[in-house]
Structure 1
Amino acid sequence: MMSAATIILILLVGIIAGFINILAGGGSLLTLPVLIFLGLPSALSNGTNRIAIMAQNITAILSFRQSGIFHWKLGLLLALPAVIGSIFGAHAAIDLSDEAFNRILSIVMIMVLLVLVFRPHKQIRSRGVQLQLRQKVALVFIFLLIGFYGGFIQAGVGFLIISALSLFTQLNLVHINSLKVFIVGIYMFTSLAVFIINDQVHWLYGITLAIGTSIGGYLASRFAVKKGEKWVRIILIVVVIAMSIRLWYISS
């Protein structure tokens, strides 16, 4: 059983991560290390974190669909290779040692921070979603790799998806985000299944975290604190740097 302090901590981290995911992105950069710091092995932390991601994406998909922003044909085209990649990525994560996973995660966190700081995905113009055959083929290959990464670590995958779609589709961020949550929601189901089959999910932690991220996402979308995004990003950068350093040395 979890202590009351642990439940409160996971809820608070979930709320913060959900809030950050709406305003800036990268909430898993907080939730995944925290689960590891609470004593869960890396594979168990990885699988548990996906319950919250799954819940948040289902909510977001329904919201976008109700708003009439739902590119399901392109979403399915890109989700299929992502699903295949995610299965292999999830198996790779389960087979990796805790030390190796923690060090890889610490490096990934710093790399994702660079994307968070420079935000190349912000330079987007709305031009539509018409794609030529060679562009579709390229995207299928790219999303096979993105799916592998999503199944392996997941943290920061949203930035990869946003960057890829901004290069090929030139949709605005609202439409790109709708595609992102749809694709992640589909491949998250298969990657989570791999972790569940291998008994790598702590259900109580995962459900508690999912409740927190849902609350955080709701609060962020409800209040839409545009001026707060700058401070959220600054805090996220500082915390993630500290966590990545800690992850590196906890593996020593």
Structure 2
Amino acid sequence: MWPSVTEVLWLLGAAFVAGALNAVAGGGSFLTLPALVWTGVPPVVANATGTVALLPGYMASVWGQRQDVQAPPGLGLGLRAVALLSLLGGALGAILLLLTPNATFSRIVPWLLLVATALFAFGPRLRQWASGTTGTEGHAAHWRVGAGLLAVGVYGGYFNGGLGILLLAFWSLCGAMSLHQMNALKNLVSALLAAIAVAVYAAGGVVQWPQALFMMLAATAGGYVGARLVRRIPPSWLRLGIVLTGLVMAALFFARA
């Protein structure tokens, strides 16, 4: 079902700003999910459709940092294992979303938004704490790293808000030291999670393709503009704006519940 002209303009604007946010700091899903819900799309379908819309941005980020994509020495896992665990976790999370009734997801969404907002707000401290708790050798047990990555993957496949901060903290906890390497690996895992989740969502028939396709174009354009403007906006302003957006969206969803 095609949306009205007003809804199209609303969704285009939300997707454009979301793409720009993801390019400079993250938090784009704080806009795409509420925008879709407020145009009448059921919450589970809105979450799936928003993930489809933001997928090209994740893939572009991986391509842009492809030279830095490699598993940190302290991770204890190769890129193949990282990719497989990410895909498995993402698939499990996406299947869990398909099994969640819309009414249940509507009650969960504001809490997920609060968690994602908290992850974003305290991201720098979380990464600092994770780095401080890393052992002197910088290595973590392989099974713990694998289990942790699988859990993060399930979260990302179910609801990817705050995923980037969670992944950066996880890499720090596992002994990674290079921020460029950590960020590139974060982008790779985010793209894999989004790709497998989109495949599961599509198979489950919960994607609103008309909305997804034009939002995808707007998000890609927003990502380009955001990348061009990133150096002109103070990072503290960006972080504050995204945190306030997350809190407002969570409050509105609590009011709807």
Give the TM-score normalised by structure 2. Answer: 0.86
Cα contact 2:138–2:176 (8 A) shared by 1: no
- Partner residue in 2 for 1:198: 204
Give the TM-score normalised by structure 1. Answer: 0.87
- Partner residue in 2 for 1:103: 107
Shift in CA distance, 227/121, structure 1 to aligned 2, threshold 3 Å? farther
- Partner residue in 1 for 2:70: 71
Shift in CA distance, 237/131, structure 1 to aligned 2, threshold 3 Å? closer
- Partner residue in 2 for 1:138: 144
Deviation, 1:222, is: 1.9
**Distance in structure 2 (CA, Å) of the matches to 1:174 and 1:223:** 20
Counterpart among 183, 186, 205 of residue 180 in structure 1: 186
Aligned residues: 245
Q: Where does 1:1-252 land on structure 2 (aligned, <5 Å)?
A: 1-65=2-66, 68-71=67-70, 74-119=78-123, 120=125, 123=128, 132=139, 134-225=140-231, 227-251=233-257
Identity of aligned residues (%): 23
Deviation, 1:101, is: 1.0
**Distance in structure 1 (CA, Å) of the matches to 2:32 and 2:10:** 11
Deviation, 1:34, is: 1.6
**Distance in structure 1 (CA, Å) of the matches to 2:85 and 2:190:** 12
**Distance in structure 2 (CA, Å) of the matches to 1:144 and 1:226:** 37
What is the CA deviation profile of residues 94-145 of structure 1, one whole-angstrom value per residue up to 9, with x for unaligned ones?
Answer: 12122321222211211222222222255398xxxx974x533222111111
**Distance in structure 1 (CA, Å) of the matches to 2:234 and 2:39:** 29
Q: CA RMSD in A?
A: 2.3
Deviation, 1:172, is: 3.2
Give the partner amino acid of 2:164.
G
Cα contact 2:30–2:245 (8 A) shared by 1: no
**Distance in structure 2 (CA, Å) of the matches to 1:37 and 1:232:** 24
Deviation, 1:201, is: 0.5
